[in-house]
Amino acid sequence: MIVGIDLGTTNSLIAYFTEDGPKIIPNRLGKHLTPSVVSVDEEGNVYVGETAKERMSLYPNSVAETFKRSMGTDREYILSGRHYKPEELSSFVLRALKEDAEHYLGEEVTEAVISVPAYFDDKRRKATKRAGELAGLKVERMISEPTAAAVAYGLYDKTRDTRFLVFDLGGGTFDVSVLELYHNILEVRAVAGDNYLGGEDFTEVMAKLFLQKAKLQLSALTEKEQVRLYRQAEKAKREISDNTEVTMSFLYREDTMEQTITYKEYEEACEELLMKIREPVKKSLADAGLKLTDIDEVLLIGGATRLSIVRDFLIRLFRKFPDTKLNPDETVALGAAIQAAMKERREEVKEVILTDVCSFTLGTEVVVEYEEGKYEDGRFCPIIERNTVIPASHTERLYTVRDNQSSVRVRVLQGESRFTRNNLYLGELEVEVPKGPKGSESVDVTYTYDINSLLEVEVTVVSTGLKRKMIIKGQDNQMSEEEIAKRMEELSYLKIQPRDQEENRLVLTRAERMYEETLGDRRKKLDHYITAFEAALKKGNHDEIREARESLNEVLEEEED
Ligand code: AMP
């Protein structure tokens, strides 16, 4: 089974293709969104998602989030004293998603199409691929997030050429992409964005408004209090879209503070953020050589596009209503699942030509005459360069280098070095050429590389028209099997917590957090329910555990409100 995965900065999702179209697979807690948060405790137990997030205020040094931002860099995260690279943390998220999908589908998930931001360069894409491999998933194809959104909206099915702008405001990142559907080819024309702008900034504005009204300084709050303040601000931010005002409360030292914030106040405070949003929109249009009015459709993705402040702003800007028929959190994962179905060549989906970029250079070996009569062989001649939009087809003409040369051998290589010995050998072809003085005969070497990593090499002798052809299935510079196996083993002492206990673990972690946040009678009441739940867990009776968990959950919900 091939699945589609949206490995997001704040949340990740996994989807598959059914007879009724693409569908999100619920995680172990029955939820569609799995927070891209990882926690590792002192014993090396790994927590992923909601539970890891809950551990944030309890054990801040054991938790990592927004690591997608550092994907492909050497940054290391230290969790409970252990070091991890961004792709390793991502592999934990992918492992949890894979396990949940396997449980849900009742079959093994071996392969995934993973979405990546359109601006992700080669290094970041490779790191993403490695994350998949470390999670035991084959990742042959990636899809850019805006392309996935367009695919999910079925836009590739349009009969006339269309231009769309995909507006993606996530938790911590903002991406704008201009796409064009032209003769059945869907191409990303321009991308722009801000890696440090997202829904969290809107939360921060809310938190600051609260502090300002309550006459408090952020620096006066402890780390845990700050986490709590942001949690309350996040809630208020979500509520304000449907209300003219919200009342936000916050436990400071011994007091519960309350402040009312109006929609208008909040909108004014967000003005600067809206200005920041305008810039990448303008830039992407300018790069694509288009005006605002040239855009036929605006698609919204990313959770923060639910903010009515953002929607109102876009309606004013484009003078049209954006397309929002799909859930903005789920669009990319659904698109990735459709792409997975295309890869499986499912009949239900029409194969469209999606473009991508080639993440490495493909070329051949040539002999270079560096001085009259002096030759250096083993030099690399690029034919399809890294970051070329694919599918792509390029031709290079090569000449004979010796008198009476009777054949030309075309070696096919992949890599970035000037010297073929440093690049990866993929195969070779040989064609016969009529004998003659050097340089009198030539061959056209055509490389055609497609989105399925298939490289077609065609060599044509210019004078005789003789053709030879071969097809090479791409290697894509993956980590070697041994390297992956070695790192997987190194990471395998870390056990992702078994999924069947997840609900209990989450409730307990949340209860522990809430216990720290409350005082007096409320704390006593909580303690009572926690103790009862722990007792039920010790006894191990299923029904009792469920009952005690539900009671504790009710108390937690009450408290959270
Ligand atoms: P994503 O990275 O796409 O999952 O987006 C997460 C961001 O969306 C977070 O900043 C959330 O606060 C924000 N978000 C999710 N739901 C809502 C909502 N109903 N109203 C406002 N913001 C939301």
pLDDT of residue 560 exceeding 80, the answer is: no
CATH superfamily placement of domain 362-493: Substrate Binding Domain Of DNAk; Chain A, domain 1 (2.60.34.10)
Verify whether ligand 1 is closer than 6 Å to residue 329 (CB atom): yes
Catalytic residue among 50, 53, 65, 68: 68
Verify whether ligand 1 is closer than 6 Å to residue 117 (CB atom): no
Q: What is the pLDDT of residue 174?
A: 93
Verify whether ligand 1 is closer than 6 Å to residue 170 (CB atom): yes
Verify whether ligand 1 is closer than 6 Å to residue 237 (CB atom): yes
Residue of 175, 72, 67, 89 lying closest to 124 (CA atoms): 72
Q: Annotate 67-87 with b (16+ C-beta within 10 A) or e (fewer).
A: bbebbbeeeebebeeeebbbb
User: What is the tens place of the pLDDT at every residue in 354-376?
Assistant: 666 676 789 999 988 878 878 88
Verify whether ligand 1 is closer than 6 Å to residue 171 (CB atom): yes
Task: Give the mean model confidence (pLDDT) for residues 394-415.
Answer: 93
Distance CA 132, CA 27 (A): 18
Q: What is the pLDDT of residue 350?
A: 67
User: What is the tens place of the pLDDT at every residue in 121-174?
Assistant: 778 888 999 999 999 999 978 898 999 999 998 876 677 788 999 999 998 889
CB 530 within 8 A of CB 516: no
Atom of ligand 1 lying closest to residue 168 CA: 3
Atom of ligand 1 lying closest to residue 10 CA: 2
pLDDT of residue 281 exceeding 70, the answer is: yes
Q: What is the pLDDT of residue 13?
A: 98
* Start-to-end C-alpha separation, the chain: 41
Atom of ligand 1 lying closest to residue 202 CA: 10
pLDDT of residue 470 exceeding 80, the answer is: yes
Type of residue numbered 490 = E
**Three-state secondary-structure class, residue 67:** helix
CA of 56 to the centre of ligand 1 (A): 18
User: What is the tens place of the pLDDT at every residue in 56-74?
Assistant: 888 989 999 999 999 999 9
Verify whether ligand 1 is closer than 6 Å to residue 306 (CB atom): yes
**Three-state secondary-structure class, residue 250:** strand
What stretch of H or E contains 180? strand 174-182
Distance CA 172, CA 234 (A): 13
Is-catalytic flag, 534? no
- Note the helical H segments in 172-217: 199-214
**Beta carbons within 8 Å of 254's beta carbon, 6+ residues apart:** 519
- Among 307, 313, 327, say which to mutate for ligand 1: greatest number of ligand atoms within 8 Å of CB: 307
Half-sphere exposure of 556 (CA within 13 A, CB side): 21
Taking domain 199-271, whether its CATH number is 3.90.640.10 is answered by yes
22: cis peptide before it, omega within 30°? no
* CATH label, 2-197+273-357, candidates 3.10.20.30, 3.30.420.40, 1.10.260.40, 3.40.50.970: 3.30.420.40
Q: What is the pLDDT of residue 361?
A: 87
Distance CA 101, CA 6 (A): 13
| % of the chain with per-residue pLDDT over 90 | 64
Verify whether ligand 1 is closer than 6 Å to residue 10 (CB atom): yes
Question: Alpha-carbon dihedral of residues 8, 226, 75, 15, nearest 10 degrees?
Answer: -10
**Which of 278-292, 358-372, 379-393 is modeled with the greatest confidence?**
278-292
Q: What is the mean pLDDT of the chain?
A: 90
Residue nearest atom 20 in ligand 1 by C-alpha distance: 238
Distance CA 200, CA 192 (A): 19
Q: What secondary structure letter does DSSP report for 500?
A: G
Distance CA 9, CA 170 (A): 8
pLDDT level of residue 92 (50, 70, 90 thresholds): very high
Distance CA 310, CA 241 (A): 10
Verify whether ligand 1 is closer than 6 Å to residue 303 (CB atom): yes
Verify whether ligand 1 is closer than 6 Å to residue 304 (CB atom): yes
Distance CA 8, CA 25 (A): 16
Angle formed by the axes of helices 271-288 and 308-318, to 10°?
40
Verify whether ligand 1 is closer than 6 Å to residue 9 (CB atom): yes
- Note the helical H segments in 1-85: 50-58
Burial of 207 (0-12, 13-18, 19+ CB in 10 A): buried
User: What is the tens place of the pLDDT at every residue in 227-267?
Assistant: 889 999 999 999 999 999 999 999 888 788 999 999 999 99
Alpha carbon of 226 to those of 120, 190, 199, 214, 518: distances in Å?
Answer: 32, 38, 17, 14, 15
User: What is the tens place of the pLDDT at every residue in 533-550?
Assistant: 999 999 988 899 999 999
Verify whether ligand 1 is closer than 6 Å to residue 200 (CB atom): yes
Q: What is the pLDDT of residue 479?
A: 60
Q: What is the pLDDT of residue 255?
A: 85
Q: What is the pLDDT of residue 40?
A: 95
Residue of 241, 310, 302, 318 lying closest to 274 (CA atoms): 310
CB 451 within 8 A of CB 390: yes
Is-catalytic flag, 527? no
CA of 174 to the centre of ligand 1 (A): 12
CB 27 within 8 A of CB 96: yes
CA of 41 to the centre of ligand 1 (A): 28
Is-catalytic flag, 495? no
CA of 66 to the centre of ligand 1 (A): 14
Distance CA 107, CA 500 (A): 17
Type of residue numbered 368 = V
Alpha carbon of 319 to those of 46, 179, 298, 322, 343: distances in Å?
Answer: 47, 19, 11, 9, 37
Tokens matching residue 417: 């070095």
User: What is the tens place of the pLDDT at every residue in 161-192?
Assistant: 889 999 999 988 899 999 988 777 788 888 88
pLDDT of residue 476 exceeding 60, the answer is: no
Q: What is the residue extent of each domain of the chain?
A: 2-197+273-357, 199-271, 362-493, 499-560
User: What is the tens place of the pLDDT at every residue in 303-355?
Assistant: 999 999 999 999 999 998 998 889 999 999 999 999 999 888 777 776 666 66
Distance CA 21, CA 19 (A): 6
CA of 153 to the centre of ligand 1 (A): 20
CA of 171 to the centre of ligand 1 (A): 6
**Three-state secondary-structure class, residue 504:** helix
Is-catalytic flag, 145? yes
Residue nearest atom 1 in ligand 1 by C-alpha distance: 170
Q: What is the pLDDT of residue 484?
A: 73
What stretch of H or E contains 94? helix 86-105
CB 246 within 8 A of CB 232: no
